[in-house]
Structure 1
C-alpha cells in the first residue's frame, strides 16, 4: 500500500499537483535521503540555485495555485541537507528595501504573478500565502520594485471573491 501511495504521489507531482507534498516531505530525511530520492518524489526542480560551499538548492514552487514553495538543499555528496517551505512570515520579514529581483526570487521562489503599474512606475510580484476556504478569501504577499529593479516595499492583501 505504501509503495502504491508513493507511486501515486510521484505521478501527481510529475503533472504539477502538489497534493502529495506533505507525504513527500515527511518521508524524506535530511542526512539520509539522496538527490535521486528527492527527484523521484518531487520531480525536476523549477530552478537550481548554486551555493558558495558547493551545495545546490532546488526550487519547487507551487505558485500560483498552491501556497507553498519548497527550497530543497542537496550537498556536494548528493545527500539531502534540508527542506524549507519558504512561504512564511519569517521569510517575508527578510525582504528588505534595495534587494534585487534575483535576491527576492532566491528567498521566495517563483511568484504567482507579476504586474507593472504605469502610474507608480512599479513592478509588483505576488505570492499566494493562504489559499482561502469557504469562509476565508485568499491572501497574497507582495513585493514592489522600482524601475531600477530594487525593492521599494512589501505588503499583503486579501482578494475578495465575487
Structure 2
C-alpha cells in the first residue's frame, strides 16, 4: 500500500498536483534515505546538477501551477543530504545583475514561463510564488529580466489579478 501511495504521488507530482509532497517529504530523512527512495517518491528529476564535491542536486519543480521547487541533494554515497524549497525570499535576494541564465536556473529551478519582449530586447522568466493571500486567488509571480547577452538586468514581482 505504501508503494502504491508513493507511485500515485509521483504521478500526480509529474502533472503538477503537489498535495503528496507533504507526505513524501515527511518520509525522507537526510542522512538515512537513499537516492532510490527519493526517486520512488518524486519520480525522475527535471534537472540534475553535478556538484564539485561529487554530490548531485536534483531539481523537482512544481511550476507552472505550483509554487514550489525542491532541490534535493544526494551525496556520492547515494544518501540524501538535504531538501530545500528554493522559491524563497533569501534566494530571490541572491539574484543579482550580471548573473547568467544557468546561474539563475541553478538557484531557482525552471521558470513557469519565459517570454521575449522584442521592443525592449529582453527576456523575462517568471516563477509562480504564491496563490494569493488567501491561497485561492490572485497569484503572485517573481520575475527575472535578461538582456540579449543572457545576463540578468533586474528582478521584480507582479500579481495577476483575476476579474
2:72 counterpart residue number: 72
- Report the alpha carbon displacement of residue 99 of structure 1 after superposing the two structures with TM: 0.2
1:138 counterpart residue number: 139
What runs of 5+ residues in structure 1 fail to find an aligned partner? none
Q: CA RMSD in A?
A: 1.7
- Deviation per residue, 1:74-128 (Å, 9 max, x gap): 0000000000000110110100100000000000000000011112111000000
- Deviation per residue, 1:23-66 (Å, 9 max, x gap): 11111000000000000000000000000010000000110000
Task: Give the secondary structure class of the aligned counterpart of 1:45.
Answer: coil
1:150 counterpart residue number: 151
What runs of 5+ residues in structure 2 fail to find an aligned partner? none
User: Is the deviation greater in 76-85 or in 134-143?
Assistant: 134-143
Q: How many residues align?
A: 162
Tell me the distance in 1 between the aligned counterparts of 2:34 and 2:129. Answer: 29
TM-score normalised according to structure 1 size: 0.93
Tell me the distance in 1 between the aligned counterparts of 2:105 and 2:24. Answer: 23
TM-score normalised according to structure 2 size: 0.92
Q: How do residues 74-89 of structure 1 correspond to structure 2 at under 5 angstroms?
A: 74-89=74-89
Tell me the distance in 1 between the aligned counterparts of 2:54 and 2:65. Answer: 32
